[in-house]
Structure 1
């Protein structure tokens, strides 16, 4: 991520976000997470139980989660949870298909298909048959390719780009049904989120990227369900997955593109762990809670109760958020506020004298307000001034508002009119007594027009977060936006209907085949 950097940062007296050593979205601690950090640094978890340094009574969390997973039935899961999971599946399918066309995704595809063999699972978009762990790797890499996949901010982690590719590959390998796929996806989401939340914020504080750390357990859980494992094999799959946990965020310090495969690595690991368990490899039964287990070694400070409290009754996947825009989620609220302003007072770029975007957080400002003139896609996706300029010039709102997957692939970073507008946009930290003092989760936007008007709007929760969730129609709109340019006519609508009725799909291959795009001269590939 490169670009021209601007400064003039004002630090508030009490920023609602805390920045960790390093830079980037993954170095931020959110308000509720910060409270956990303060309490835990005093030597106790939020329930008053010491969980580092001293031994505690064993609660058998690994076994409890394994037992829950193998006994889980769709009939016992609330309909609202299943509705959310269906939307997550559709959203991730869209991310996979569009993501497969990107230049770096083509590189991943080339190296894996050139060096690997096997069969049992299908690579989305391309149609190759590979071993399930390799197919899952590629589909997950496509899924996470362009800042478009879902996010669970509270924990924080990216569960969908692991849960869906792992479950799809193993459902095909095990000749499963749509109902089994849905069940496995729900379980994989829940395990990942609970584990990341149990270790929050210390996992990321110690330099581990949560998806790569917790993802293998989610993928192994999905795989165990689809393979019909008993308790012993499921525990072993989780234990083997723990030996695959990884993920360092040094890229936030010195750069690199490795983050693009930070969902693919754990997806492959969890699937492979289940395959190893199937043939008899054994593993520790205390991989999560043990003295040398994941929580102790990776996080140090943690709250094991978050792993199992309310398991089967409280569904953390309901807190998961979808991304209507393909850029850093910290910019999304500014888009929504600008849309609200334009709904009341139509604006053209030439009408604008200045746009000021308020936040209470210096870390947010430094994260999305520093780059004015990006040099590459990632720089644009983390530049609020440039991204808001894209939206203003596009003139539309919502998913089609100019900040989508294809928009960032096609934008001209040297467009003189875009850059002229971007220079009119500034981000600032609100003073305690200012009119924007309450903007601590979203953004406040103030537009000053050439004719002297001042237009204001603020958004606390951006579109896609659970407090302001995308409707089923909006999720479908995003899916169609992602895949319509690269899929034959009629296929996207068929996928939508198939996912809505996923429990009625007897053979998952009926879904898998729809995700393969036959070569066509009019297919849109972002790399071309």
Structure 2
């Protein structure tokens, strides 16, 4: 821990001067993929109970018709639209996440804030992309600086760090200068919150972390625009964000090499519809499944050795789909028996599948301190399968598929989008959206894509 003078103003100065022409083409391409992934998760997320409840809440309290909402014919206010759409995107654990900022889901927080504000402002395609890059930059850098201590203290970066990211993105979209961008960060930092208590019961409020961060970001930037001040030392202050939320932070990670690399480059995409901390174990089991053929009746036990943030996902018999997605025993059993852990695999009937229940009961999840010491640089899982005849098979995965170092291809990501969205908008419309979002200049207004359903 240390005091670095003007950390907040340095990064806000960078964000306020960020321009489309100064961002490399590969970064812009990655940003468009992030937007496509956001839309795919949101189209299917409209079907969730949680999204429906938040839509009903918004209808109850009302809002000035400014911005579109997934699943609603009517518009609502910018902050409320951002909130609903954040919950919608995050509903099924399909949205992107940050490689090093533990627990940060930037797509479900920053993009709904940008689209809600941008629609009302009639912002251009290029301005939207720049704002998204700016938001990922703030959230990713702060998330790196305070994690993994932040997570170990029980905080969820999607509710905390992403509030700052959404505020930065909206500030850039509004064209705020460095000081007002810092005010917005200060306001958002004071509004930030989100704890991992949801894990115990699989409660819905995890999704509200994403929605609230998006709402906080819109509110903070609009208030700062009007002249409402926030602390311009919110990050580095002795009673500031980093010290409040982490026991071990590095402020230099927030300002080091600004413009030399972008945090959006360290975004990873989900191959599996589960908590990302389970991906190493899932990938290891899928590798085993390809290489050896074994009947589940021959299995004595499966042991997963992994890092601390993953080892807590050890519930053997989840009673809801949400809890199942945060159960390494369950998703490991699903992967071995079905060969995939996709969105459409998770049904109420799956929770009662006797074969999966029996196999999940044989899975032990243990923290390995050596593995934990290398987190988040590596997201290691060592999976050992022991058969009744004494045979032992083991697989180790350090970098799961979808991570920047082991990426999914553009084709795989567009296939993911099509699979998720086509049931809602139809295959033809789904392919048209892919073409629009991945184009330098979309042939259709980006905001109209949200009202495709």
Output the TM-score relative to the length of structure 2.
Answer: 0.88
Per the alignment, in what secondary structure is the counterpart of residue 504 of structure 1?
A: coil
Residues 359 and 442, structure 1, Cα contact 8 Å, conserved in 2 = yes
SS in 2 for 1:273: helix
Post-superposition CA distance 1:204-226 (Å, at most 9, x none)? 34443222222222111111221
| Distance 1:192-1:356 versus aligned 2 partners, 3 A rule | same
> Which runs of 5 or more structure 1 residues have no equivalent in the other structure?
1-44, 433-438, 519-528
- Paired position in structure 2 for 1:188: 135
- Partners of 1:390 and 1:253 in 2: CA distance: 21
CA offset digits 1:386-441 (Å, max 9, x no partner): 323323443x4xxxx2x222221454312233334444555567899xxxxxx971
CA contact (8 A) 1:178 1:506 kept: no
Distance 2:184 2:367 in 1: 47
SS of residue in 1 equivalent to 2:271: coil
Q: Distance in 1 between matches of 2:242 and 2:164?
A: 12
- The answer to whether the aligner puts 1:466 opposite 2:383 as a matched pair is no
| Distance verdict in 2 for CA 1:171–1:417, change over 3 Å | same
Aligned mates of 1:440, 1:163 — CA distance in 2: 25
Secondary structure at the residue paired with 2:424?
A: coil
Equivalent residues of 2:183, 2:229 under 8 A apart: yes
- Residue aligning to 2:416: 478
1:441 to 380, 393, 406: 380
Structure 1: how far apart are the matches of 2:420 and 2:278? 20
> SS at the partner of 1:182?
helix
1:174-323 equivalences in 2 (<5 Å): 174-252=121-199, 256-299=203-246, 301-323=248-270
Mapped to 2, the partners of 1:168 and 1:425 lie a distance apart of 42
Partner Cα distance (1:326, 1:467) in 2: 20
Kept in 1, the 8 Å contact 2:296–2:359? The answer is no
Number of matched residues? 445
Q: What secondary structure, in the 3-state scheme, does the structure 2 residue paired with 1:484 have?
A: helix
Q: Write the mapping of 1:84-95 to structure 2, written as runs, cut at 5 A.
A: 84-95=30-41
Q: Distance in 1 between matches of 2:321 and 2:240?
A: 39
- For the 8 Å contact 1:357–1:428, the answer to whether it is kept is no
Listed as ranges, the matches of 1:492-503 within 5 Å are 492-501=430-439, 503=440
Partner residue, 1:389:
333
| Greater helix proportion | 2
- Per-residue deviation at 1:313? 0.7
Residue segments in structure 2 that go unaligned for 5+ positions in a row = 371-377
2-side partners of 1:428 and 1:354: how far apart? 18
Over the aligned positions, Cα root-mean-square deviation in angstroms equals 2.9
TM-score, scaled relative to structure 1:
0.77
Match of 2:375 in 1: none
